[in-house]
Structure 1
């Protein structure tokens, strides 16, 4: 009977030791995953900042392009008015830009 109890206690201690080792392994994995998640979070923040900056630069570029198109359209209209004597003779111009289509009547 004592041997049986002794064997049971040994098995329980071995099992407890395995559980403790498993818990240690799980804690190690949790630490590694936490570090990886922090790195991923930082990378996402950097990507978001770059995307925002790119969007701002793109918007600025389109505004400049649109203003240039407006200036060229006005200049073209003035030139056509000076060439054509009658307003009915002026052609209809369609000017395409990146964002919209403009129809100009002079």
Structure 2
């Protein structure tokens, strides 16, 4: 953590300067006129960014199920309509009866 930075106002000329106190150098005199500095005000420290608090329950996330590959069914051929054997017999009987009457 660094040292605090303060704004210092000169008591003689009224100029303002940023005063950074550190291990090597700290001066309590004005850089322009040499008068003592007074009226120290601390610069506001940047606030730590906190994550927003949500009061809603967290949404459960489930792994997506892999979608099954669609099975493409081959189109069925049209089947030729078969004439039943009973219909064939009935047709023969009808022809026989018709021949008798002729």
Normalised by the length of structure 1, the TM-score is 0.29
Q: Which structure has more helix as a fraction of its residues? A: 1
Greater strand share, structure number: 2
- Indicate the structure (1 or 2) with the bigger Cα radius of gyration: 2
